[in-house]
Amino acid sequence: MTAMQGRKRVGARWCLPGFLLALAVLAGCGAPEPPSDSGVNVAEALGQAEAEGFARATDPRRFRFPADHGPHPAFRNEWWYLTGNLEGTGGRRFGFQVTFFRIGLSAEPVESPSAWAANAVWMAHFALTDAHGKRFHAFERFARDAVGLAGAQAEPLAVWLEEWRLTGTEDGLPWRLEMAEEGIGLNLSLEPQKPPVLQGDAGLSQKSAEPGNASYYYSIPRLAARGTVTSNGETIPVTGLAWLDREWSTSALGPDQVGWDWFALQFDDGSDLMLYRLRRRDGATDPHSAGSFITPEGGKRALAAGDFELEPVEMWESPRGGRYPVAWRLRLPALGLELVIRPLLRDQELELTVRYWEGAVDVHGTRGGRPVQGRGYVELTGYAE
């Protein structure tokens, strides 16, 4: 579950990110402001490609790895979503988010002698939270799936937009994530600590009652991260934990959701928790909200909307407009979990073509009466005004 999917969930039309901005505005997807440099193209609605011709997620499928780490161009949308908490020498804390979105423009290849012809475009987001320096940086890029500007392949894994890239070695692991822009950088090796977790029904994540309105969704909830962060002119060695979300689909959803709250938490006892709450226009929680609890051994327990209670405990007013609940109380009676989630920084809002909040958090609480703590990432969409 990601920001992008959240955006998709709201509005009469799909709210595709980036250069689909104009549409996104119309659909009220967090009502982002047009970026000041909106020009011939970016401010223009690219328009939604017809679902016709693209594959749909209708039945559970067999996932094969490492092939499924690579692209699924038969589906209209797909993303690679990495978040993580890192620690440098002296306990200096960082958070990062890296997302590669593939957006299919046409199910068919474009017939042209030109190498520039592309039936898909890519958008990537890169955000770094420097808790010590109290700074948050966010960057965005677009490129077409052509002439080597952006693309993805399975073996060895490569997902890239220009020099931003996630790559595997010849043997597969570890993966390397290299991101840099305007003096902010990230260079990490990523080693999965748990096997992929298939979300929803064996990887089929149903978004509404209608068949096909679903995605294929898996996560790697725990990757050991090691490398460097560059911030403020300094390059700092770091270690930490990352989370990978992968999703692909060709779905179209109902008009009644306005946004959502997504949580990916990693506890110090080795267990992990993912859950999302879809917010309806009337403020209620959508019944398709869901989640999963992953044991240290990698076992999964599915969570339904009724299994958890979320309560904001602190609101943060964005200087760019909108109020975000940035701290939460979370109760999962079935697991005996009672948690308080607090952000590393209040302002972890990405002011990009679509504005949303995605930030590193700390978690404290109890599990069955015993103290438990952890770190994680929270994504909040639909609050921007």
Least separation, in Å, of the C-beta of 322 and another protein? 24
Beta strand segments in 287-332, E: 290-294, 300-304, 309-317, 323-332
Least separation, in Å, of the C-beta of 244 and another protein? 25
By beta-carbon proximity to another protein, the closer residue of 116 and 334 is 116
Handedness of CA 47, 8, 26, 125 (dihedral sign): negative
Please tell me whether residue 39 binds another protein under the rule CB under 8 A.
yes
Please tell me whether residue 147 binds another protein under the rule CB under 8 A.
yes
**Total of chain residues touching another protein, rule CB under 8 A:** 39
Please tell me whether residue 144 binds another protein under the rule CB under 8 A.
yes
- Encoded one letter per residue, x for contact with another protein by CB under 8 A and - for no contact, window 149-188 reads x------------xx-------------------------
Q: Which of residues 102-121 bind another protein (CB under 8 A)?
A: 105-106, 110-119, 121
By beta-carbon proximity to another protein, the closer residue of 47 and 287 is 47
Please tell me whether residue 31 binds another protein under the rule CB under 8 A.
no
By beta-carbon proximity to another protein, the closer residue of 52 and 111 is 111
The helices-and-strands tally (H runs, E runs) of the chain is 2, 23
Considering only CA atoms, which of 337, 313, 316, 308 is closest in space to residue 383? 316
Please tell me whether residue 42 binds another protein under the rule CB under 8 A.
yes
What residue type is 167 in one-letter code? T
Q: Which of 43, 51, 224, 305 touches another protein (CB under 8 A)? A: 43
By beta-carbon proximity to another protein, the closer residue of 148 and 211 is 148
Interface region with another protein, contact rule CB under 8 A, candidates 31-39, 67-75, 249-257, 274-282: 31-39
Two tokens, residue 96: 């990062």
By beta-carbon proximity to another protein, the closer residue of 44 and 256 is 44
Distances (CA, A) of 267 to 30, 221, 373, 378: 31, 11, 6, 14
Interface region with another protein, contact rule CB under 8 A, candidates 140-148, 231-239, 248-256, 326-334: 140-148
Interface region with another protein, contact rule CB under 8 A, candidates 15-23, 217-225, 226-234, 332-340: 15-23
Please tell me whether residue 47 binds another protein under the rule CB under 8 A.
yes
Two tokens, residue 113: 């002698």
By beta-carbon proximity to another protein, the closer residue of 23 and 332 is 23
Kindly report the three-state secondary structure assignment for every residue of 329-358. EEEEHHHCEEEEEEECCCCCEEECCCEEEE
Cα–Cα–Cα angle for 248, 254, 257, rounded to 5 degrees:
95
Distances (CA, A) of 209 to 61, 66, 251: 19, 31, 12
Least separation, in Å, of the C-beta of 111 and another protein? 6
Residue 307: helix, strand or coil by DSSP?
helix
Distances (CA, A) of 213 to 58, 253, 336: 8, 7, 33
Least separation, in Å, of the C-beta of 44 and another protein? 5
Considering only CA atoms, which of 258, 253, 243 is closest in space to residue 215? 253
Least separation, in Å, of the C-beta of 123 and another protein? 9
Quick check: 5 and 199 in contact, CB under 8 A? no
Considering only CA atoms, which of 309, 260, 262 is closest in space to residue 286? 260
Distances (CA, A) of 313 to 285, 324, 341: 17, 11, 9
Note the residue count of the chain: 385
Interface region with another protein, contact rule CB under 8 A, candidates 38-46, 210-218, 318-326, 334-342: 38-46
Please tell me whether residue 74 binds another protein under the rule CB under 8 A.
no
Q: Which residues bind to another protein, rule: CB under 8 A?
A: 19, 22-23, 35, 37-49, 105-106, 110-119, 121, 142-144, 146-149, 162-163
